[in-house]
A and B are shown apart, each in its own frame.
Chain A
Amino acid sequence: MRFFKDAALAALSVAVVLSFSEIVLRLAGAKYPASLYTSEKERGYALRPNAEGWYLDEGECYIKVNSDGMRDREHSLEPPPNTFRIAFIGSSESAALQVPLEQRFHAEIERKLKPALAVHGWKAEVLDFGGPGYGMAQEYLTLRNHVWKYHPRIVILLMSVYTVLKNTRRLSPDSEAGVPYYVLKDGQLVPDAATQSAPGPSRWRQAWKDKSSDWANQIDLLSLARTAQINLGRKIEKMAGTVRLRARRQPANAPPPDYVRVWPYLPDLPQMQEPWAIAESFFDLMKKECDQQHAEFWIVTTDMNLQTHVDASKREAFRKEIGAATLFASEARIERFTVAHNIHTLLLAPILADYSASHHVPLHGFFNTQVDIGHWNELGHRVVGDAISEELLSHSEALRNLLAGSQPDVTHKASHARELQSSLSDLR
């Protein structure tokens, strides 16, 4: 009995120390990276509904995921009256965890479209379905299964050329387990059999994992423990990786070590033909999907850091290093395809390159990263928001029709009719 009493008191002292540590961490304003994701059968992973916490890899930003798993504010499924919705799908550039919501390009577009739409009694609402690290298959599945319930009038694929690499397993060996892939079979995109046979996470296990991640995001001591565990794993993995690299020779057909950095700039490489063919098939699929839903489809390509680096000599040195005639060959390929297939396109890279060269300011990078490396910073978002909204105002048919007053608010009327019908059926 005495043993248990002593042990209980020792346990109490541990609890006191842990509570004290939690208080100190909170007082110190300690910030640890939050877990914001959940596993998903369909897309491999997605932002976890209602998750919140710090993103610290580039800059520092407190993230709140909405109840539908979007890095966005809450949106009703039905658009409010006289609201014109624009949906973005894409990867980390669209989710933009690096900057606060109100400084992202989505908010900038809403601000820029406001005066033009307000004259006609409308307002714009920009919805963000971006998922950090997503490949084109995940972007397509997001469009097909998550976007339409919000009834957007324009869908914009914010496309990073880096995602082309993620179209084949061979060029994205480090992707998360369960991430879907599509392959070309007789010229048609079909889900990769390996993806389909991958077991999804067990429901209870996933629920527990999500709940514990939520707690860990809220309790500093748990965040600390999780960060420590992740960092330790990375360090061990790094050491093991070094040993493995020394011990093993790479297979003959393995891509060179820096292919992720170089190949996106070289769309004509033989090794890039398959990923590009899949990318173009995805463009087609997305266009068809949007046509079926009577939404206008746009492709807006993002830039790659060295295309728009503030230091022009670095751009040129890189171009020479990779032996390319231009750093914009991938954009040219996309433009050729989209013109041939009647898809609205905006290439951001040349616009951003001009801006950073003429203003001598970096559009990427944060206080805790290298200069002009990584995702768009606040200024980058502002410039991107300006460019997209200008392009929409001058070239979007949906917007033009709306402003000309030639198109009634079909979506709103439809939803109103649905509501009326359901009320009637309730009455019956």
Chain B
Amino acid sequence: MSYTSVEFLAYLACAAAAYRLCPVRARSTLLLILSYLFYCTWDIRAAGLLAGATLFTFFAGKSVGDRPSHHRAELTAFLVVCLLTAYLMFFKIAAVMPGGEWGRVVMPLGLSYYTFKLIGYLVDIHWGKIQPEQRLVAFAAYVAFFPQIVAGPIQRAGDFLEQVPPDRMSIPDGVLRIAWGIFKKLVIADSLAPGVAYVFAHVKDLHGAALLTGFYLYPLQLYVDFSALTDIAIGTGLLFGIRSPENFNRPFTASSISAYWRRWHMSLTTWLTDYVFTPLRMATRYAGKIGLAFSITVNMVAIGLWHGLTWGYFTFGLVHSFYLIVDALSVKRRARFLSVRPKLDSLASGLGCILTFHMVALALVFFRARSVGDAAWLLSHALSHWSSLGADLLQLAAAAGSHALVVGIAGYAILEIAERRRPDLWWRRTRPVVPRWVRWSVQSAVVTFLCVGVAMLLAQPSGPNQHPFLYAIF
């Protein structure tokens, strides 16, 4: 059941209505049932695995929390984390193994997300950040929480469990956030998708402008697609009274690569920073800059390989670790340079945004291309054959639909402005003081937009024309 399918919206409406009528004390149970029902529409056997991993971690957490000896608790936590990592790795390895027996192994939906939730929960108990959860139902609802199971955000156990059982549903905010996500996905991301798909499917048949278009469009498509998925997840969470963490903060306005990683897929980045980078950095602090470089490399390669065990993801992680090492080692010098030249500060910030975007786009070529060879080809040929610029662009426009490309790019511009200006927050502030006709006009416009959005959802083709969410496969 895709988040943009009519079936999902119908399920959501029924689930929210049942949730609204349900007594507060029974809401955790209902949330758990709803989450497993959703999960079972994908695969019942995978739901069994999810339940098994949940039960195992729940009791392991109790065991770690209840151990009087720190040493024993540490050993137990270490063993459980190793087992959970092995569980994750098994499916990740199976996904890249050639056919045969391995070919029959299907990766459970949201495996990477819920395994990280489980590992984080256990480590937090071990570090004493949280107490072991006593309510099995609440814990199982946390792990399987259906808005987050497909693609996060990866919420920390403490943050989620303190909201359970939720007593307040934020229906208007939730609906608006879901509508915004659907708009981003269907209008912007899906308009950019054919162009990107065409370029990356025909890398070696294209050159110059066409390759460069793919180079620039893919980061936009990935961001809009993934942030749309997060918007729908956060909005759905709000319908059930759960506030989820944000995953994005306008990442392409970051003026440095470290700032970019503080704005992109934030729930994964902070998770890896807390549970991988920081412990590693502490362990290697005696090694100075080499220790720093090592910690960054391990962290970034882990981010890359979290997506899958391929050379493309590995190279993606490696390229970013290179960026971050250079950034970390030069940050003091840059600060000193700019502190004595304050006039250059805003210029550096603007140029930094452009440079950061290009660096990110370059690394994403390895992320998206079918192979590292394809990625290298794209990067080495993107600046060639400028004499056939017009013909190349016409070829791409014909293959991907020029109208769709225009809407995708214009839509992205609207998205940047909207996320910068946040008209929703402005409206919340100004609504009580504006005259009635303004209130009515804005509300009518929003409702009309929602109706058009629902019609677009219903009118979607159900065949191979649909573009699934890019991050729903991890």
User: Which residue in chain A gives the minimum CB-CB distance to B458?
Assistant: A228
* Interface 9-residue window, one of A15-23, A107-115, A338-346, A417-425: A15-23
Selected interface stretch from A27-35, A208-216, A356-364: A27-35
A17-B449, A24-B187, A27-B403 as given contacts; A224 in contact with B461, CB under 8 Å: no
> Considering the chains assembled together, what is the distance between the CA atoms of A17 and B449 in angstroms?
7
Q: Do A28 and B191 form a contact, CB below 8 Å, given A235-B6, A368-B465? A: yes
What number of B residues sit within 8 Å (CB to CB) of A? 33
Which residues does chain B contribute within 8 Å of A26, judged by CB atoms? 403
In the complex, how many residue pairs between chain A and chain B have their CB atoms under 8 Å apart?
83
Which residues of B1-58 have CB atoms within 8 Å of chain A's CB atoms? 6-7
Closest-by-CB residue of A relative to B465 is A368
Task: Check B437 against A231 for contact (C-beta < 8 Å).
Answer: no
Interface presence of A118 (CB below 8 A): no
Residues of chain A within 8 A of B454, CB atoms compared = 228
Query: Is A10 an interface position by the 8 A CB rule?
Result: yes
Q: Closest approach, in angstroms, between the C-beta of B383 and any C-beta of chain A?
A: 30
The reply to whether the CB of A221 lies closer than 8 angstroms to some CB of chain B is yes
User: Is A29's CB under 8 angstroms from B444's CB?
Assistant: no
Contact of B401 with A29 in the complex, beta carbons under 8 Å:
yes
Q: Taking CB as reference atom, which chain B residue is nearest A6?
A: B437
**B459 touches which one: A9, A27, A227, A368 (CB < 8 A)?**
A227
**Max chain A Cβ within 10 angstroms of own Cβ: one of B191, B402, B406, B461:** B461
Interface status of A332 (Cβ within 8 A of chain B): no
Judge whether A368 and B6 touch: CB under 8 Å. no
Complex Cα spacing A193 to B290, Å: 92
**A56 on the B face (CB < 8 A):** yes
Bound-complex Cα distance A17 to B401 (A): 24
Across the interface, do A232 and B407 meet the contact criterion of CB distance under 8 Å? no
**Does A11 lie at the interface of the complex (its beta carbon under 8 Å from any beta carbon of B)?**
yes
Contact B458 A28 (CB under 8 A): no
- Say whether B441 contacts A13, CB under 8 Å: yes
* B96 → chain A closest CB, angstroms: 27
How close is B328's CB to chain A, nearest CB, in angstroms?
43
| Nearest A-chain residue to B10, judged by Cβ | A235
Partner of B404, one of A11, A16, A28: A28
Contact B452 A28 (CB under 8 A): no
Residue of A nearest to B5 (CB): A235
Bound Cα distance from A10 to B404, whole angstroms: 30
Is A7 on the interface with B (CB-CB < 8 A)? yes
Interface contact B437-A228, CB-CB below 8 Å? no
Report Cα–Cα, A129/B216, bound state, in Å. 50
Question: Is B335 on the interface with A (CB-CB < 8 A)?
Answer: no
Which residues of chain A are within 8 angstroms of B191 by Cβ–Cβ distance? 28
> In the complex the two chains form, is B187's CB within 8 Å of A225's CB?
no
A228 touches B445 (CB 8 A): no
Question: Is B440 within 8 A of A7, CB to CB?
Answer: yes
For chain A, the count of residues having a C-beta within 8 Å of the partner chain is 31
Distance in angstroms between the alpha carbons of A32 and B337 in the assembled complex:
58
Closest to B438 in A: A9
User: In the complex, are the beta carbons of A56 and B461 less than 8 A apart?
Assistant: yes
Q: CA of A56 to CA of B460 in the docked complex: distance in angstroms?
A: 12
From A7, A16, A228, A369, give the contact of B455 (CB < 8 A). Answer: A228
| Interface status of B99 (Cβ within 8 A of chain A) | no
* Interchain CB contact under 8 A, B440 and A228: no
Query: In angstroms, how far is the closest chain B Cβ from the Cβ of A34?
Result: 13
What is the bound-complex CA distance between A224 and B448, given in angstroms?
A: 14
| Closest chain B residue, CB of each to CB of A226 | B459
Instruction: Contact check, A29 vs B403: say whether CB atoms are below 8 A apart.
Output: yes
- Known contacts: A6-B436, A28-B403, A56-B461. The answer to whether A225 contacts B455 by CB under 8 A is yes
Residues on B with beta carbons closer than 8 Å to the beta carbon of A5: 437
Cα-based distance from A56 to B461 in the complex (angstroms): 9
A9 to B437, CA, bound (A): 7
Contact across chains for A368 and B461 when beta carbons are under 8 A apart = yes
| A12 at interface, CB cutoff 8 A | yes
Min Cβ gap A145→B in Å is: 37
Instruction: Choose one: B402, B436, B448, B458; the contact of A18 (CB below 8 Å).
Output: B448
A17 touches B448 (CB 8 A): yes
Contact B458 A232 (CB under 8 A): yes
B201 to chain A, nearest CB (A): 13
Which positions 409-447 of chain B face chain A at CB distance < 8 Å? 410, 436-437, 440-445
Taking the nearest CB of chain A, how far is it from the CB of B264, in angstroms? 27
B396 CB to nearest A CB, Å: 15
Q: Which residues of B contact A24 (CB under 8 A)?
A: 187, 407
Bound: A276/B457 CA distance, A: 44
Closest residue on chain B to residue A229 by CB atoms? B458
A56 surroundings in chain B (CB, below 8 A) = 461
**Given A5-B437, A10-B437, A28-B403 in contact, is the A17-B458 Cβ separation under 8 Å?**
no
- Checking B402, B437, B444, B461 against A14 with a beta-carbon cut-off of 8 angstroms, the contacting residue is B444
Establish whether residues A224 and B403, one from each chain, have CB atoms under 8 Å apart when the complex forms.
no
Minimum CB–CB distance for A221 against chain B, Å:
7
Assess whether B100 is interfacial by the CB under 8 Å rule: no
B361 within 8 A of A: no
- Taken together as a complex, chains A and B put the C-alpha atoms of A221 and B452 apart, in Å, by 8
Q: How many angstroms between the C-alpha atoms of A305 and B458 in the bound complex?
A: 30
* Minimal beta-carbon separation of A58 from chain B (angstroms): 10
Segment 184-240 of B: residues with Cβ below 8 Å from A: 187, 191
Chain A residues in 8 Å Cβ range of B442: 13
Instruction: Tell whether B342 is near chain A: CB-to-CB under 8 Å.
Output: no
Answer yes or no: B456 CB below 8 A from chain A CBs.
yes
> Which chain B residues lie closer than 8 Å to A32 at the CB level?
459
B464 on the A face (CB < 8 A)? yes
Closest approach, in angstroms, between the C-beta of B343 and any C-beta of chain A? 42
In the complex, what residues of B have CB within 8 A of residue A9's CB? Answer: 437, 440-441
Complex Cα gap A24–B414 (Å): 12
Bound Cα distance from A396 to B145, whole angstroms: 71
For A29, what are the chain B residues with a Cβ–Cβ distance below 8 Å? 401-404
Assess whether B440 is in contact with A10, with CB atoms less than 8 Å apart.
Answer: yes
* Cβ contacts B315-342/A at 8 Å (1 or 0 each): 0000000000000000000000000000
User: In the docked arrangement, what's the CA distance between A5 and B402, Å?
Assistant: 42
Docked complex Cα distance between A358 and B170 (Å) = 64
B68 CB within 8 Å of chain A: no
Is residue B463 contacting chain A, with contact meaning CB distance below 8 A? yes
Question: Which residues in chain A, 244-300, are within 8 Å of chain B measured between CB atoms?
Answer: none
User: For residue A18, which residues in chain B have a CB less than 8 angstroms away from its CB?
Assistant: 448, 452
Tell whether A231 pairs with B187 under 8 Å between CB atoms, given A16-B445, A17-B449.
Answer: no
Given the known inter-chain contacts A28-B404, A232-B458, A368-B461, please indicate yes or no for A21 contacting B445, CB distance below 8 A: no
With the chains together, A332 CA to B201 CA distance in Å?
46
A-side contacts of B440, CB under 8 Å: 6-7, 9-10, 13
A contact residues around B458 at 8 Å (CB) = 227-229, 231-232
User: Given that A17-B449, A29-B403 are known contacts, is A224 also in contact with B459, CB under 8 Å in the complex?
Assistant: yes
Which residues does chain A contribute within 8 Å of B459, judged by CB atoms? 32, 224, 227-228, 231
Interface string of A290-322 (1 = CB under 8 A from B): 000000000000000000000000000000000
Closest Cβ of chain A: how far from B257's Cβ, in Å?
A: 34
Could you say which of B7, B440, B458 has the most chain A C-beta atoms within 10 Å of its C-beta? B458
Q: Kindly list the 4 A-B residue pairs having the minimum CB-CB distance in the complex, ordered from nearest.
A: A29-B403, A228-B458, A13-B441, A227-B459
Query: Which residues of A are at the interface with B, using a C-beta cutoff of 8 A?
Result: 5-7, 9-14, 16-18, 21, 24, 26-29, 32, 56, 221, 224-225, 227-229, 231-232, 235, 368-369
12 CB < 8 A contacts A-B: A10-B440, A17-B445, A18-B448, A26-B403, A27-B406, A28-B191, A221-B452, A227-B455, A228-B459, A235-B7, A368-B461, A368-B464
Extra 5 A-B pairs, beta carbons < 8 Å, given A18-B448, A232-B458: A13-B444, A18-B452, A27-B407, A28-B191, A231-B458
